Structure 1
Amino acid sequence: MKQCIWLLVLLATMIAACQQDENKDELKLEVKKPESEETVAVVTDQAFISKLIEALDKAETISTAMMDLRQPDYKVIIKKNEETLYELGYYTEVMKLGGLAGRYLNREREEFYGVTIDLPLK
């Protein structure tokens, strides 16, 4: 009887541990050179990436559909569990467009984000 109880406790512990691993989201930010796709940096600081995602989600944006902008300095890819959340251009200097200051450009959506958070590049 004691063996059955210990077996059930062990089984329950293993199931709980597996569920914790499944629920853990891993965020990753890759910084690449736009012309060569060479990876310049990989950021894994979960707090920083979460802060950036929240800022992008809440940011004021401006349409760039009718603007001729210079090429961003870097390409930024933000992933959650290997699923791409954002693929953006990043300017090392803050850009001002139509009264909006920011660093991030979504070419696909033709939007410029009013987010000035600097990437931890060295």
Structure 2
Amino acid sequence: MRKVKSISIILLLSLILIGCQNNNLNLTDDVTNIEVYHWDSEKLIDIVNDKKFIEKLVNELDNARTHSTANIDWAMPDYKLIFKHNGEALYKIGYCTEVQNFGNGAVGRFWEHDKLYDVSLKLPIE
């Protein structure tokens, strides 16, 4: 009986931990590079190919807390990032050169639609 209780507790804790994990990006393939464009003109600025940086950024974004920006009036991001796998676009997200702090817990550089990702990692560009 004691063994069954222990297993039940372990299973319950595992389910709770799994439920707390974020999976923001839902990428089906590994990102091989990130193309960086000006937000307004869509002019290509740079291409990030550093695998370690890309893995770190994808991991941080995938597991980040997000905060709604739906009711916040602010300028749009400086850049648009396109995460690619061998030339195929997997994901698009905005990037701000300065860390955004909206005072409601939302602090970060990466923005998608109406949410700011709690990630302040700086892109290795410029």
Give your verdict on TM over 0.5. yes
Q: Aligned equivalents of 1:56 and 1:44: distance in 2?
A: 17
How has the CA–CA distance of structure 1 residues 62 and 26 changed in structure 2, closer, same or farther, with 3 Å as cutoff? closer
Verify: 1:54 aligned to 2:59, yes or no.
yes
CA shift, 1:106, in A, is 0.3
CA shift, 1:26, in A, is 5.4
Verify: 1:76 aligned to 2:81, yes or no.
yes
Equivalent residue, structure 1, for 2:33:
28
RMSD of aligned Cα (Å): 1.7
CA shift, 1:86, in A, is 2.4
CA shift, 1:99, in A, is 1.9
Unaligned runs of 5+ in 1: 1-23
Verify: 1:112 aligned to 2:116, yes or no.
yes
Q: Aligned equivalents of 1:58 and 1:85: distance in 2?
A: 17
CA shift, 1:81, in A, is 3.1
Q: Aligned equivalents of 2:62 and 2:88: distance in 1?
A: 17
CA shift, 1:38, in A, is 0.7
SS at match of 1:79: strand
Counting aligned pairs with the same residue, the percent is 42
SS at match of 2:110: strand
Q: Which has the larger radius of gyration?
A: 1
User: After superposition, what is the alpha-carbon deviation per residue over 1:53-88, rounded to whole angstroms, capped at 9, x for unaligned?
Assistant: 000000010011222221111111111233333211
Q: Calculate the TM-score normalised by the size of structure 2.
A: 0.70
Equivalent residue, structure 2, for 1:96:
101
- The count of residues paired between Structure 1 and Structure 2 equals 97
SS at match of 1:54: helix
Q: Aligned equivalents of 1:43 and 1:30: distance in 2?
A: 6
User: Does the Cα contact within 8 Å between 2:107 and 2:118 map onto a contact in 1?
Assistant: yes
Unaligned runs of 5+ in 2: 1-28
